Amino acid sequence: MAFDFLKKLKDGLAKTRAGVAAAFKKVISVGRRLDATTAAELEEVLLGADIGAKLASELAAKAEAAYRQREVKRPEELSEFVCREIQRMLPERECAEAMAPAGPTVVLVVGVNGSGKTTTCAKLAKRHKDAGRKVLLAAADTFRAAATEQLTIWAERIGVDIVRGGEGADPAAVVFDAAEAAVARKVDVLLVDTAGRLHTKENLMRELEKIRRVVGRKIPGAPHETLLVLDATTGQNAISQAKLFTEGVGVTGLVLAKLDGTAKGGVVLGVWNEVRVPVKFVGLGEGFDDLAPFNAREFAGAIFGAGGEGSQQS
């Protein structure tokens, strides 16, 4: 499965990799030196992958300095150097899921509507069930009827229980009921699908904070994870969403969904660089198994075509 996912990661990031490779060829054409001019062109290449202006500038400056110091001896080594730098910036050890030492582990899944939040919640449920854990889903996005219906269908397919309320029900009340059920049924993992949109962003943040308080009163230490799902195809907009949610509800991990549909796969790096929250999962499709722990080495290799294959598989 690990090998299959690595292949799927490379396939999913093919658009990003092709764009970066073509642009790199122009930067490192025969006879060129890696100087201020080519460093500026490298920065444009990285911007084209949507990694963000700040990180693109930093990587380009590091590449130019490495060339001057003979760490990079030929322009052709540029992609490998950038690949290594990215691997250093995103250490794999940050990506482990948090688990409660005792009792149910509570995971809040947050994000805007359309990001892939509800589907990601289902995929996480499948992962935990496959790992032998007892899972309970909470359909707390009561403001969007389709979300509850969708999660209920997923629960039936996966074979896990779900706690749901009626359309327009108080989300915090649904989460309270789910937390009670999780304790009573000796559940290992409670996954909470939250609302992605209310009348204003302030209302949404208040609602999510209320959910955090309610579940924390019922299960000590909860929530143990707050995962923010971002749609990679939205590019720089994903960075804005990441800032909003991390400031508002204490996000502990990122999930980049829909990487298979974008030429801007570098947004994973841009988001991380802006909010410094670990990337924990990436999604490459709609299937149950199209979600896997983020691996910096594999990801960098899938974009820059260097490294990755020799990494330890998750």
Closest listed residue to residue 282, CA positions, set 92, 56, 59, 18: 92
Phi, psi at residue 231, to the nearest 5°? -85, 110
Q: According to the model, what pLDDT value does residue 295 have? A: 83
Mean pLDDT of the chain: 85
Q: According to the model, what pLDDT value does residue 263 have? A: 64
Cα(232)–Cα(302) distance, rounded to whole angstroms? 15
53-68 and 36-48 helices cross at what angle (nearest 10)? 140
- In angstroms, the Cα distances linking 85 to 59, 251, 269 are 8, 25, 11
State what percent of residues in the chain have pLDDT above 90. Answer: 39
- Which residues of the chain register pLDDT less than 70? 1-5, 28-32, 75, 91-94, 198-200, 261-263, 305-314
Look up residue 22 and give its two tokens: 């073509």
Three-state secondary-structure class, residue 213: helix
pLDDT tens by residue, 152-185: 999 999 999 999 987 788 999 999 999 999 999 9
- Give 95-120 as a DSSP string: GPPP--SSS-EEEEEE--TTSSHHHH
pTM: 0.87
pLDDT tens by residue, 91-109: 665 577 899 999 899 999 9
The sign of the dihedral angle between the CA atoms of 5, 7, 12, 16 is: positive
The sign of the dihedral angle between the CA atoms of 211, 212, 215, 218 is: negative
Q: Which residue is listed with tokens 């559940």? A: 187
Cα(310)–Cα(314) distance, rounded to whole angstroms? 12
pLDDT tens by residue, 4-35: 667 777 887 887 888 888 877 777 665 667 77
* DSSP state letter for 207: H
For the CA atoms of 121, 126, 132, 138, the dihedral, rounded to the nearest 10 degrees, stands at 40
Closest listed residue to residue 140, CA positions, set 115, 113, 165, 107: 165
Q: According to the model, what pLDDT value does residue 313 have? A: 37
